[in-house]
Amino acid sequence: MIRHHFTVDVEEYFQVSAFESRVRRADWDRFEPRVVGSVYRLLDMLARHEARATFFVVGWVAERHPDLVRGIAHAGHEIASHSWDHARVTDQSPLTFRDSVRRAKYLLEDLAGAPVLGFRAPSFSIVPGREWALDVLIEEGYRYDSSLFPVRRPGYGYANGHPDPHWLERPVGRIAEVPPTTLRRWGTNVPAGGGAYFRLFPYAVVRAALRDCAHRGAPGTFYIHPWELDPDQPRIAVPWPTRVRHYGGLRRTAPRLERLLVEFRFTAIADTLARLTDMARV
């Protein structure tokens, strides 16, 4: 039975990109922190189902909760980087992006006591035209990226990206790409990798996507956020489409995760990376 990737983007509920017009970065420290409880709930779930996961942690969160990062690593999971301050690549220059991924990697490696190999851009914001970010990641010592979402969506998506893990050859070297899972149906790629799609679409969509991956012999990549397990998080006044996307189905997350963890086996991306590397040597 194939092991898919279970991934968690460790960020606070007030850091999501859709809220940035309502919540200023400078005000983050004024919000009630809630990430720790939700992460421990996830760790408990993963332990009960003997699943290993990759946690993409925002540096800002790691700096405020160093014991949380140590706890995740101590539980046997992989620590990876979700940038320093959750800024979208599309809002950054190569210089500020480099500073962000370098600073996050340095702190996370110090806390985890292990090399940080992976990166996921906030809001999957490595979009066409921003491939320079991959070069920066290679130069900064990252071995894989999980930001190219092969879907066509307003604001994000890398529509022509390959749906399964693969190597990207870049002028400065190579990096493995591990895209979030999509479901190929009706001539298009349906986002089925997790997050709002996991809460708002029928459960069967994610299940079908992971089964298709298994049939192809490729691991799927599922993602979730700690705030999606927190129905009691303080509400931020946002327009209704954002409200639905962020707050819809929050009470469904935990029972659906339990089901997912029963039906599929999961591991960290680093495990697949080792296999990809071996295959490339043959």
Question: Which residues contribute to the site for Zn ion (CB under 5 A)?
Answer: 9, 11, 122
Instruction: Name the pairing type of β-strands 265-267 and 173-177.
Output: unpaired
Shortest spacing between CB 121 and Zn ion, in angstroms: 8
Shortest spacing between CB 280 and Zn ion, in angstroms: 29
In the complex with Zn ion, the residue whose CB is nearer, 122 or 220, is 122
DSSP lists the bridge partners of residue 80 as 56
Long-range CB contact pairs, 182-185, < 8 A, 24+: 182/149, 182/150, 182/151, 182/209, 183/208, 183/209, 183/212, 184/212
User: How open is the CA angle 128-161-225, to the nearest 5 degrees?
Assistant: 85
Shortest spacing between CB 251 and Zn ion, in angstroms: 21
The closest residue (CB) to Zn ion is: 9
Shortest spacing between CB 87 and Zn ion, in angstroms: 10
In the complex with Zn ion, the residue whose CB is nearer, 212 or 230, is 230
Shortest spacing between CB 10 and Zn ion, in angstroms: 9
In the complex with Zn ion, the residue whose CB is nearer, 9 or 228, is 9
In the complex with Zn ion, the residue whose CB is nearer, 151 or 218, is 151
Shortest spacing between CB 185 and Zn ion, in angstroms: 26
In the complex with Zn ion, the residue whose CB is nearer, 108 or 218, is 108
In whole angstroms, how far apart are CA 170 and each of 83, 126, 132, 175? 21, 14, 9, 8
Q: Find, among 200, 198, 126, the residue nearest to 168 by Cα.
A: 126
Shortest spacing between CB 187 and Zn ion, in angstroms: 29
In the complex with Zn ion, the residue whose CB is nearer, 122 or 165, is 122
In the complex with Zn ion, the residue whose CB is nearer, 150 or 226, is 226
